[in-house]
Amino acid sequence: LLFLWVAMLTLRAVLTSLNTNQNISDSEAVYGRFFTALKEQIPMCAHIWFIMQLMLMSAVFYVAFNGFGAELYWQLAVALSSATVLISLIAFAPNGIGVSDGLWVIVATQAGVSLDKSVALALLLRISHLLGVSLLYASLWCLHKLDNSRRDTHG
């Protein structure tokens, strides 16, 4: 977690210290909003949300792994959630699919879970992540549609 935070701040510091007229302006034609967003200061609430996300992921890993019979301590659950975030950045796999699942299987087998239960655990975690994101997206979409319909009738 500390490594991710330091890496993010370092990247932003380097990009803001570069000569924007020469180096970034050539790349902005290609990457546009990405470089513009990197030059902006990170709001404190973004750090808080990132830490809360990691703690929630850690709690999910802690409950799931211990529920399958593994001995996973809280510190290892935090390290596993941090590694999962790092792995999700791997470019050759969308959101680290397959790579993070392999990590979960390796950690579960090292923690004393049989291979078949480890694979079942990885599948359960992947399905829960996909289902959670899908439900969140659907609820936000419904709220957006409801808000738009209220504006159309009242405005």
Distances (CA, A) of 42 to 92, 109, 111: 27, 38, 37
CB atoms within 10 A of CB 46: 11
Residue 79: the pLDDT is 93
Grade residue 155 by pLDDT with cuts at 50, 70 and 90: low
Mean pLDDT of all residues in the chain?
Answer: 78
Q: Residue 60: is its pLDDT beyond 70?
A: yes
Q: Pick the more confident residue, 30 or 122.
A: 122
Q: What does the pLDDT average to over 93-121?
A: 87
pTM for this prediction:
0.65
Residue 120: the pLDDT is 94
Residue 19: the pLDDT is 46
Grade residue 20 by pLDDT with cuts at 50, 70 and 90: very low
What is the percent of the chain where pLDDT is above 90?
A: 29
